[in-house]
Amino acid sequence: MKDLTQTGNAVDAAGAKLAAARAALSRDGRPIYAPEEMQRREAEAEATFHATFRDAAAAAAAEITEAEAELRALDRAEADPLGGLVTADLARANTMATFVREDAEVLPLAALADRAEGAATGSDRAVMALLLRYGQRRLDGEMVQPGRGYSDDTTRLEAALNVLRARLFNHGDKRDALAARIEAAGQLGAHATTTQYIAARYGR
């Protein structure tokens, strides 16, 4: 994929390039080509000018699509906390799954948050994965209950689950980088649109 910085530079230079191409069609204020050739070259310069903005919009959209796909891939990986465990941890998780699930279903939210916070400070990846899986289910269930919503306990539990997720997957830097790519691409698309509009509106 084309470097977005390079694409942004092309957008910024598009007006000057078009002006230079037009200036090259005359000398001392007089056309240097026959009318048909002048028309062809003028149309070619215009086409190149507008293609710069189309390319910028396409590059920005492609960058956003790619980064969003990578974010969804991270979401899919994190949706199954057990999927990233090594064999020994997975075997331990299998033996504990029923107990952790039952606790996650019936413990008061504050107690479940305590347990998740404790696991987040430890090194038992099997427990982390199980609490993340079943704690997230409990949290999701709480949030859709009529009259329920965010409370101190749900906020604590959500924060603890996020720490568990970070400990297990370490995707924070990747997510930040992808978010930055999406933001930069969006800014490029907006900049290209604005630059083209100003050029069309006020001349170039």
The pLDDT, as a whole number, for residue 147 is: 66
Mean pLDDT of 142-160: 85
Question: Average pLDDT for residues 176-194, to the nearest whole number?
Answer: 95
In this prediction the pTM is 0.74
Asked if residue 62 has pLDDT above 60, the reply is yes
CA distances from 179 to 8, 19, 71, 82 (A): 19, 36, 9, 26
The per-residue pLDDT for 202 is 78
Task: Quote the pLDDT of residue 203.
Answer: 65
Domain boundaries, the chain: 4-75+187-202, 82-170
Lowest mean pLDDT among 33-37, 72-76, 200-204: 200-204
Q: What is the mean pLDDT of the chain?
A: 92
C-alpha span between 121 and 124 (Å, rounded) = 9
- pLDDT score at 70: 97
- Tens of pLDDT, residue by residue over 68-94, are 999 999 999 888 999 889 999 999 999
Provide DSSP, 145-198: STT----HHHHHHHHHHHHHHHHHH--HHHHHHHHHHHHHHHHHHHHHHHHHHH
